[in-house]
Structure formats: C-alpha cells, structure tokens
Structure 1
Amino acid sequence: MTGINNIERVYFIGIGGIGMSALARYFLSLGKRVSGYDKTRTALTEALEDAGINIHYEDNVALAPKDVDVVVYTPAIPADHTELTYYRENDYTVVKRSDVLQWITEASFNVCVGGTHGKTTITTMTAHILRDTGYGCNAFLGGIAANYQTNFWSSERNVCVVEADEYDRSFLKLVPDIAVVTAMDPDHLDIYGTPQAVEDAFVQFAGRVKAGGCLISKYGLSRHNDLKAAHHYTYSFDNPKADVYATNIDVINGSYHFDINGKDWKMKGVVLHMGGLHNIENSLAAITVAKYLNIDDEKIKRAIENFKGVKRRFEYILKNDAHIIIDDYAHHPEELKALISGVRSLFVDKKCTVIFQPHLYSRTNDLAKEFSQSLDMADEVILLPIYPARELPMPGVESELILDNMQLPQKQVLTKDVMLDWVKMHKPELLVMCGAGDIDTLLQPVKQILEK
C-alpha cells in the first residue's frame, strides 16, 4: 500500500465532499491524525467534526497545519486556492483523492463501480450486501447509506468496494478485481471534450480489471465489443438477451417483487423496498457481484430486502395520504428519465410535479435538449436557476435554455423564494425535487409547508 503505512498526519482541502469525507474517515479508522478545510459547514462536515476531525472554513494559510505528511485535495478546488498554493510551493506531498484510492486499491481485492449514472446506488447496494451477509468489506461510497448513515466503513477483510468516479478521469487510477460499468453517456464534456472520449475512458477503465478478473456491464452499451475481461457478464432490467435480467416483476404496497434469471442460476422472490424501476436493474448488478463471490442466495435476498437505500436517491422526504415528496440527486438527462419513469410506475394516478435545479453551466449547455425531453415526461415542471458549483457563468446559458426546448405546457423558471411561495399556493400532491446542487436545502422548508 504505497506510503499509507508511513503516513501519520493527513490534511484534506475540500474535506466536506462526499468522496473526500469517506477518505478522511478511512484515515481516522487507521488511527491517523486528520484535519481539513472546506468552504462551508454542512451536515457532512459536522459529522466529521463530531468524529474528532478538526475543520476550518476559511481559506487561510495561518489556519492550515504545517506538520502534515500528505495534503489531499479535490479537483473541485480552484487552482488559485491560497492553502493549496502554499503547500505546493513549500514542497509538501500534494495528491488528489484518486491518488489515495490508487494507493489503497493496489493492496486489496477491489470491487469498483463506474458509470455516468447508477454507480452510487450500485456501490452502496454491493457494499451493503457484503456487510449484511457477513462477507465483509471496506466501503468508499459516493452517497450516505441509509442503513448505516455513513459513506464509509472499515472491515478486517482486505476487500474494498469503491465508487469509481469518471470526473477528471479519476477512475483510471483504480485497480479492480471486479469492475461494474453501468452507463457511458456523454457527461463531464468540460473534461473530456467529446462523447467518444467519455466512452474511450470507460473502455480503459474496464481494461484495468486484473488478469483473471470479472467485468459486469449493462447490456446494450454502445462499446460492448470493446469491453473485455476473463469473466464478463451483462445485466438488464428485463432483456432476456442479457446474462442477468429480472422477470415476474410486481408492485405490492409500493415495493418491487421479482425473480432473477442468471446465465446458469435463478433467484426467486427478491423484494426491493427502494422506489424506481431503474433500481431493480441496479440491484441486478449488485447481486451479480455477490453471486460471483459465491455468497449464499438466501443471505443476498435478505440483504436486498433490508436495504434502505441511499440518501438523495429516490428518497421519500414525506409520504402520507395527502402529499408525497421524493428527493433525488438526478443531474443528467438519463437519470431524470429513469427517475420520472420510476415515479410514474409507482404512482400511476397522481399528477407528477418536478422541481429541477440544473447543475453546471457546461452540462446545461451541452445537454439542454436532452434535459427538455426527459422533463417533458412530467405533468408540470419548475426549473430553478443553474447551480454553478465550480464554474463561472457562460453567456446565454440559463435554465431558460432547457425551458424553451420543452413541449410541456405547464413549465416555468422560478427563484428559490418564489418556488416556496408557489408550493404554498398550489400544495402539489406528488412532488419530485431533484438536482446535484443545493436543492436539498429546500427539502425541509417544502416539507413543512406541505405538512401544514
């Protein structure tokens, strides 16, 4: 494990990020001294502080520790960040999060889950199955597992389940024994430039599977013939041409009941309490990993049945006879399509209102037409202004770019405050709130309005 045993003091710049906080917890679990900086205090940073990690919220070299062995930063940090510049100019060991994951995975058995969407749910499901069945794993998740209220846990077993992030080509540093590829749709074109380059990176990722290892990919991917491994299985929601697919799907009291047909195995009576038909498909990928590891069928089924989902992935914020609020991290057109389809499959007779906050000017500009088509599947849509994250505004790129492409008659762009007033006035019965920005900070205000 490159250097990790020699590291005693680690400093994280951007410690509040979902991937960074998992690594911070990892070093803490090893008994290392961990500290960090982030721009804003959040529930995640408060949880880290509660765990004993010292965090400050001002980009100030005077507050940054000088006695550290390694400085880890997230690519979301601007290049001119004062503390980052200080560490670089003073010859500290400064690495990206992906470098640390490379050190960790070079010395363990790894399940690495990649894809432009679905990866957080599949990673969390897989890690949950391995934990719940007693198989054991270290988990590095891109979301908070609702069963455990954390995005990291450790195990004595030297097995890691890692969410493989394609942003900044980070996942090309991982060393998988088992790799999962869920999708390779155009995304992060600010990094990759073209859809072809995105696909090329996923082919490279699949090619990093160790000799004799296993690749599990969604059936029908455009570059299927380029995805190669000693053992290669495909999965699909219901396509019998795939190696693994679901049959006899039924909805009972808001839960999915289904059977699975594998290449040379069958599993009957699987129950999934997580909403969204796409999550049946996600469960098939996780179950295929567990089957490859020879975990007992009954243990797998029990783990899937008690899986509570992932925070901000088809998460019920309010569910009573009068109102339903579903929160989801969906920030790509394909994710929105899957989300709205899933909502409609469960609530066929309710009017579906979607509040969507576009994430990044570049993504909105690149995929405005596709966003419009996905949002047209709802009955009514409210768009919030674009959440910029790491980007500066782009001339002519606003939420109206999506709005103007939509065919749906009931659509509008509202500021956050006006949107809350709209909810007070209209009290929607079925409300889906989605996006990767800060729309989650509006969930409790909206919930309070509808609970009244």
Structure 2
Amino acid sequence: MRIEELNMIYFLGIGGIGMSALAHWCQRQGIDIAGYDRTESSITRSLEKQGVPISYEDRKETIPRKLLEETTGKLVVYTPAIPSDNEISKTLKAHSLTFLKRSQMLGIISKPYFTVAVAGTHGKTTTSSIIGHLLKHSGRPCTAFIGGITQNYQSNLLMDSEPPGEQILVVEADEYDRSFLTLQPDIAVITAMDADHLDVYGDSKQMQESFKEFVGKIKPGGKLFINNRIYNLLKDYVKAGVSVYSYGIESGIFKAINITVKDSKFIFDIQSPKINMDQLNLNMPGFHNVENAMSAIAVGWSLGLDEKEIREAIASYSGVKRRFEFIINQPELVFIDDYAHHPVEIKALLYSVKRLYPNRKITAIFQPHLFTRTRDFYLEFANSLSLATEVLLLDIYPAREKPIPGVSSNLIATELTVPFELSNEENICELVAERQLEVVLTIGAGDIDQLVGPIKNVLINQAQNDSKK
C-alpha cells in the first residue's frame, strides 16, 4: 500500500496522542480524515477545528456514508485500545475495509524517509522531542511524530515541506504489541528495557527478545545509540555494518558528567571521543532527562550538528507537556505533573524531585494505569512511591482492560512505607484542600491530567487565603 493511493482514512481511537499526529499528517497530504474516540479532549477538539469529523458514540450510524459506499482507496487505522466488541469496528470490517494498526501505518509512512526511531520502555517521548527540536532549531528539514505535546511547538507533530527523501523523520518506536518491528530505521535509540507490558509478552525475557529483533531491523550502515545499562544485553544482536554507541550518566561512550542543579535546571558536561562540551543547560529537570538529552545529543552529532547548534538547541528546549511539567513553581509551593506510570519512571521522577527540593514535604498523587500492570508491579510501585513524604492513591485507570478480581490500588497501598490515603477523582480536591502542601505531584498515564486544573485551583486558592492571614 502507498500513501498516494489513499483518498480517505478512518481512525479508530483518533484522540490518542500517536493517532492524532498521524491524522494531522495524513490530512496535510490531502487525504480525507474522520474518526471515533470514546471521549472528547483538547486533542480531538484540535482535529475538529481542522475540519475532521469525529464521533464520540459507538454507533454504526455515525460512520461517514462515503466510507462504506466505495471502499477503493479507503483505510481504517486503529489502536489496540479499541475493544473487540466496538460496533463501528465490526461494521467497517463487515464492509471489507482494510485495517492497519497505527504502527503499521507509521511503517508505511517512514519508508521513503531517513528515519530515526526512538525505542525503550521509558523516555521515548522526551528523547524524540529533543531530537526533533535539535533538528528544527538548527534548520534541518525534519518531520517528527511525538508521543506528547511539545512546549516549544505546542504540537505532537513537527513537519517540513521538503520531499521525504530530503528530510529526516523522527518517530517513537513503541514496544507495546511488538509495534516497533514494523520499522526499519537508519538510526535507532534504545533508552531502557525494563519489564513492562507483561500482558502482551508474558515475561521480561520475551520482551527482551522483541528488542533484540528490533535492533536487527536497523539498516546496513546505520547507527544504534543505546543506554549503557542495557548495552551488554543487546550489542551482540546488531547486524554487521551497524555502528553501536553507548551513552549514560558517568558511563558509556557519550557520558554526562559534573551534573549540578540550579534554579530548577540541570547543568552538565558531555565527555566522549566524538564531542566534548561543558556547562549545557537543560530546562527540563531530572537525571533521567539528562540521560534522554545525552542520547539526543549523540544522535544530533551523528547527523552533523555542530557544538554551537547543539548548545543553543538544548538551552532553548522547553520540554513536553506532562513530562516533569511545572504547573506551579513558586518559592513556597511547587506543583509538577508527570506521565510516569511505571515503577522505574516514578523512582527516577521522585529521586530528581528530592534532589531539587531537599527537606521539603513531597505529596505524590498517583493514578495506577492498567489492572495488569498494577498486579505485576504493585510491590515495585510501593517501593518507588515511598520516596515521597506521603501518597494519595487514586483508583486504577483501566484503559483497554476489564477489572481483575482482587486487583485494586489497595495492593500498592498496603506495601507503602509512608503515610497514604486512598481516594478517587471525586474527592481528591477535598483531600488536597485539607492539607498544607509544599511540593505536589500528579503522576500517571490515565485521565489524571483532567484533575490538574482543579487541583491547581485548589492550591492557588489555598495559597491566597494563607497570605491573607
């Protein structure tokens, strides 16, 4: 299938961050776009403003008539989050329309491009957004599909007008459902390989096998940049002719050293046989984000960026929404929102917050994501969350899953070693209002982002009332 052969695409789950970027890109190619999503959001409203019809009802009557009348040149792109009993999906299949997963569509789009694919169980979005920004800021033609809304561009899609053969394509290579195996990148980055998605893989060994297969997809003459912690696990599975570079904090070929913290910024030096720079300023805090920046800088070096271009781009990078995003940043009150939904991510987040705000009370408001992930990692979640001073635990966000008997947020709660309280979306603001808070974090990949605004209002009102006393 070629993009030029398509005249209409229907997106099932169009409100997803990855799906919406694909929809925007396809619309700009002159293809008619329509779609379904379960809930309205700022993402779907943005698409609707661009003239994309979206249904929020799972009824076959909402399907555009022209999609069913003539199927030539028509395509359905879907996300695995869509349940098998979805009425729209069943109707479209009954009309013999071609179905592709989001990852398969991305694989088709990427074929004519020089492709940089960022894989890993954590850090994909931040790393791919930094690479995209390095290229954009330095004037290199670039298209980037990013799994979050960049602060610099207020979009999850960066585009240039040059033909694909004259551009660099940056994509996130998602390991869920082995999706990244549809890609054949020229450059690959692997940020992490911690156990996750065990509902798909069964165990961590099977997931590692998938990553081994992914590194074998890199094109001859290509490059692999890999976190030094997992270098030895994957280096032997790279094809001959592919160059391999490790990176990390104080380890690897590209290493970050002399890390200091000042005014919520992380400042570090780069040391490597290829490029050496001192006092780089990263506005996005976190030791894990220094690692992400290191991999992006290494990729930038491999694409011909010079030291001046790299330094200026890193200093001007503003981050991604819901990745260590400051909602309130005042001397007496800090509110950070973060997408972390895996124990390793939460540990890295809280470790960095504690470094930024030593001796401050840290309140973590966490919404677990998926029943299976909670079941598989509740002990690890409790261990990571116990880095906070106190924890407010919301109900599990189910996403694509149905409840599992005996699996709830209480599994995590009973293993915490710090004070906690179980809550839900309806009463969380009351619990926040009852407390004198100093550093507050909302953490999770579900719909906890819908609570950020209300919690912010409570905190601001509380601070204003305190100032009047």
> What's the TM-score, normalizing by structure 1?
0.97
**Structure 1 vs Structure 2 CA RMSD:** 1.2
Residue 366 of structure 2: aligned partner: 356
Residue 387 of structure 1: aligned partner: 397
Residue 367 of structure 1: aligned partner: 377
**1:135-181 CA distance string (max 9 Å, x none):** 12111111111111110122124321001111111111011100001
Matched, 1:95 2:100: yes
Residue 11 of structure 2: aligned partner: 12
Residue 112 of structure 2: aligned partner: 107
Name the SS of the counterpart of 2:229 in structure 1.
Answer: coil
Residue 74 of structure 1: aligned partner: 79
Between the aligned partners of 2:317 and 2:436, the Cα distance in structure 1 is: 31
Contact 1:9 1:67 in 2 (8 A): no
One-letter amino acid of the counterpart of residue 8, structure 1: N
Contact 1:427 1:450 in 2 (8 A): no
Residue 50 of structure 2: aligned partner: 51
Q: 2:138 aligns with which of 111, 133, 137?
A: 133
Name the SS of the counterpart of 2:427 in structure 1.
Answer: helix
Residues 32-431 of structure 1 aligned to structure 2 (within 5 Å)? 32-68=31-67, 69-155=74-160, 156=162, 157-221=166-230, 223-229=233-239, 230-239=242-251, 242-408=252-418, 410-431=419-440
Between the aligned partners of 2:386 and 2:300, the Cα distance in structure 1 is: 37
One-letter amino acid of the counterpart of residue 41, structure 1: E
One-letter amino acid of the counterpart of residue 403, structure 1: A
Superposition misfits of 4+ residues, deviation over 4 angstroms: none
**1:289-317 CA distance string (max 9 Å, x none):** 00011111111111111111001000001
Between the aligned partners of 2:452 and 2:205, the Cα distance in structure 1 is: 37
**117-126 vs 420-429, which moves further:** 420-429
Deviation, 1:266, is 0.7
Contact 2:235 2:244 in 1 (8 A): no
Between the aligned partners of 2:50 and 2:295, the Cα distance in structure 1 is: 33
**59-68 vs 350-359, which moves further:** 59-68
**1:415-443 CA distance string (max 9 Å, x none):** 22332111111131100110001111111
Between the aligned partners of 2:221 and 2:63, the Cα distance in structure 1 is: 45
Name the SS of the counterpart of 1:274 in structure 2.
Answer: coil
Deviation, 1:227, is 4.2
Contact 1:277 1:345 in 2 (8 A): no
Between the aligned partners of 2:183 and 2:99, the Cα distance in structure 1 is: 18
The percent identity for this pair of structures is 44
Residue 26 of structure 1: aligned partner: 25
Query: Runs of 5+ in structure 1 lacking a partner?
Result: none
> What's the TM-score, normalizing by structure 2?
0.93
The number of aligned residues is: 448
Between the aligned partners of 2:97 and 2:425, the Cα distance in structure 1 is: 42
Query: Runs of 5+ in structure 2 lacking a partner?
Result: 68-73, 462-469
Between the aligned partners of 1:146 and 1:388, the Cα distance in structure 2 is: 28
Name the SS of the counterpart of 2:318 in structure 1.
Answer: coil
**91-100 vs 326-335, which moves further:** 91-100
One-letter amino acid of the counterpart of residue 139, structure 2: G
One-letter amino acid of the counterpart of residue 26, structure 2: F
Between the aligned partners of 1:227 and 1:249, the Cα distance in structure 2 is: 32
Between the aligned partners of 2:171 and 2:24, the Cα distance in structure 1 is: 14
Between the aligned partners of 2:260 and 2:140, the Cα distance in structure 1 is: 30
**1:394-435 CA distance string (max 9 Å, x none):** 010010101112222x11211223321111111311001100
Distance 1:227 1:343, change over 3 A: farther
